[in-house]
Amino acid sequence: MSGVVPEERRDRGTGARVGVVTFPGSLDDRDAARAVRLSGAEPVSLWHDEAALRSVDAVILPGGFSYGDYLRCGAIARFSEVMGLIADAAKSGLPVLGVCNGFQVLCESHLLPGALVRNAHLRYRNRPARMRVETAKTAWTRAYGEGAEVVFPAKHGEGRYVADEATLDELESAGRVVFRYLDNPNGAMRDIAGVCNEAGNVVGLMPHPEHAVEALTGPSTDGLGVVASVLAHLNEGAVR
Amino acid sequence: MARVVVDVMLKPEILDPQGEAVLGALPRIGVNGVSSVRIGRRVELDFDDDATDLERQTRIIADKLLANPVIEDFHISVAAEDAA
pLDDT (tens digit per residue) in A155-203: 999 999 999 999 999 999 999 999 999 999 999 999 999 999 999 999 9
Q: Kindly state which CATH superfamily the domain A9-239 is placed in.
A: Class I glutamine amidotransferase (GATase) domain (3.40.50.880)
Residue of B20, B37, B60, B70 to mutate for A, most A C-beta atoms under 10 A: B70
Q: Catalytic residue, from A108, A134, A158, A210: name it.
A: A210
Residue of B8, B18, B42, B71 to mutate for A, most A C-beta atoms under 10 A: B71
What is the CATH number assigned to the segment(s) B2-78? 3.30.1280.10
> Judging by DSSP bridges, how do beta strands A177-181 and A192-196 pair with one another?
antiparallel
pLDDT in tens, A7-32: 444 444 468 999 999 999 999 999 99
The Cα-based distances of B72 to B6, B54, B77 in angstroms read: 12, 21, 17
Helical (H) or strand (E) element with A237: helix A224-239
Using only C-alpha atoms, chain B has a radius of gyration, in whole angstroms, of 16
Does ipTM exceed 0.85? no
Overall pTM > 0.95 = no
**Residue B70 Cα, gap to closest chain A Cα (Å):** 6
Domain limits, chain A: 9-239
Query: Alpha carbon A215 to chain centroid distance?
Result: 21
Backbone angles phi, psi at A185, to 5 degrees: -90, -5
